[in-house]
Structure 1
Amino acid sequence: MGLLGNDLAFAQSLSAQEREGVMALGNRKHFPPDAHLLTEGDRSSHVLILLDGWVTVSVSTDRGATRLILGLRGPGELLGEMAALDPHPRSATVRALGPIEAQVISGDAFRRFLALHPRVSGLVIRQLTFRLRSADQERSALASLTVLQRLAGRLSELSAAEPAGPYTPAAAGRPSGPPPAGSVVHLAQDELAATIGATREAVAKALRLLRTQRIVRTGNRMVEILDPALLALLADGHHE
């Protein structure tokens, strides 16, 4: 399972000259907390490069108002590139977790830039491929893992990276190994549920079990990891 972006965010993969050229295509814009930067089904084609803050990427489900969070994206990440490259509507909604600063670039300008810069075009293809593989892994997890396994895996993933501010679930980069004891995930239970495709009730039940075993401690919009090694074992399907 993987909710975070690639090892190296799009903007960080660019050379200084490429970065300057891409940024010159658009304008900097500020978004308030909870703002929709992109909306599922919309026919706009602009792209965003996050400069500061974190966002969720989510899609609607068959349960109506319920949404499934597909990813958490942070500084340097490119968003909205699919709608810039094909004529179809937006496939997901991007919502600000806190105050956001982003570079907004028109789809036409972005496509022209990619045509003139094959290496940058390759970086976009690499990002799309990575996210497709990640989505395949998420679908497999939904079909084959229990809620407890999915929750344990998600908590391990999000808490393994160094927290970086009140709205940052995890630092950029993909963690390796179990998180350190005392790591904290700053998400509410309904948000955690949305990241693993489960109901809030099912996540609350799984968290009660983890608290009973003293694997985690919970509070207001937070889950503290007390026993990262055991949490990782549960994520792999091992039980006490």
Structure 2
Amino acid sequence: MTKLEPGSFLAELTAVEIDDLAARGRERSYKRGELLCREGEASTAVAVLLEGRVKAYSFIKHGGEVLLAVRGPGALIGEMAAIDEKPHSATVAALEPTRTITLTRAAFLDFLQANHRASVVILRTLCRLWREADSQRVELGKFDTTGRVAARLVELAERFGVPYKDPTAKTPNGIRITLNLSQEELASWVGASREAVSKALSTLRRHGWIQTGRRQLIVYDLQALRNQTQSENIGIYLADT
């Protein structure tokens, strides 16, 4: 099992609870693009990510999709639909080869009955996710596209970043974001058009804070990106620098 994301469901369980969870389910693998669950369908299973990253998204009325979240190792998938017996509120697809422990809905509920502390862990996890969703809604009204892109790049660098060393440098001098997101996916995540996101990335490149390539993004100045998410006038700030 790869390193779990801090604060994720599995990372908060004890070794005994993890063993019990695994005994009630079975391991399953997914290829990139394969669906773990589909929006609008009834819940039949719950999955816990062991390896790989997935995206949760929703389809919009006139075509296209809105990226809602990215989840990594340790995350719980499909728990809300299993608990409230409502259809899935989003589609979840693998962004890369992914491995899970998958439980039937009944087995998952039995696990919670037998492990009451795990129910509290779920509540804490859901509270954190709701707070993240609230923060992203605030960003829509507080920042322009460049600010929202900067905020997502900070999140991606902190969650999925690894040290990067330029071939001409002796020591690591950047952070390479290992998550394979397209510009279309990033645009749907920040609530902007692909063209607007492309322009925002160009602005951040011009300042030397990031470098982009085909499905590759390197952050050279994470603090500069953080600073942009703390200013309500990011567009003015960038224009004056």
TM-score (norm 1): 0.84
Question: Which segment is superposed worse, 46-55 or 126-135?
Answer: 126-135
Structure 1 residue 66 displacement after superposition: 2.4
Residues 57 and 69, structure 1, Cα contact 8 Å, conserved in 2? yes
Structure 1 residue 227 displacement after superposition: 2.6
Structure 1 residue 220 displacement after superposition: 0.4
Distance 1:111 1:221, change over 3 A: same
Write the letter of the residue equivalent to 1:117.
N
Q: Deviations over 1:113-148 (max 9, x none)?
A: 212221111111111111111111111112222111
Aligned counterpart, 2:190: 196
Please say if 1:128 is aligned against 2:122.
Answer: no
Aligned counterpart, 1:169: none
Residues 151 and 235, structure 1, Cα contact 8 Å, conserved in 2? no
Structure 1 residue 88 displacement after superposition: 1.0
Please say if 1:77 is aligned against 2:69.
Answer: no
Aligned counterpart, 2:105: 107
Distance 1:69 1:103, change over 3 A: same
Residues 52 and 72, structure 2, Cα contact 8 Å, conserved in 1? yes
SS of equivalent residue, structure 2 residue 107: helix
Distance 1:107 1:96 in 2: 20
Q: Deviations over 1:86-118 (max 9, x none)?
A: 121101111101111111101111112212221
Aligned counterpart, 2:141: 143
Q: Deviations over 1:149-179 (max 9, x none)?
A: 0001111221134646xxxxxxxxxxxxxxx
Q: Deviations over 1:160-211 (max 9, x none)?
A: 34646xxxxxxxxxxxxxxx84212343211211221211111011112122
Aligned counterpart, 1:207: 201
Write the letter of the residue equivalent to 1:121.
S
Aligned counterpart, 1:68: 66
SS of equivalent residue, structure 1 residue 57: strand
Larger radius of gyration: 2
Give the one of 229, 236, 239 matched to 2:230: 236
Aligned counterpart, 1:184: 176
Distance 1:119 1:35, change over 3 A: same
TM-score (norm 2): 0.84
Distance 1:184 1:194, change over 3 A: farther
SS of equivalent residue, structure 1 residue 65: coil
Distance 2:127 2:15 in 1: 24
Aligned counterpart, 2:31: 32
Residues 189 and 200, structure 1, Cα contact 8 Å, conserved in 2? yes
State the identity %: 35
Structure 1 residue 16 displacement after superposition: 1.5
Aligned counterpart, 1:170: none
Please say if 1:89 is aligned against 2:87.
Answer: yes
Aligned counterpart, 1:154: 152
Distance 2:211 2:30 in 1: 32
- Structure 2 unaligned runs (5+)? 163-171
Write the letter of the residue equivalent to 1:200.
R
Residues 39 and 89, structure 2, Cα contact 8 Å, conserved in 1? yes
Distance 1:220 1:127 in 2: 34
Residues 44 and 90, structure 1, Cα contact 8 Å, conserved in 2? yes
Aligned counterpart, 1:221: 215
Structure 1 residue 214 displacement after superposition: 2.1
Alignment size in residue pairs: 220
Distance 1:134 1:20, change over 3 A: same
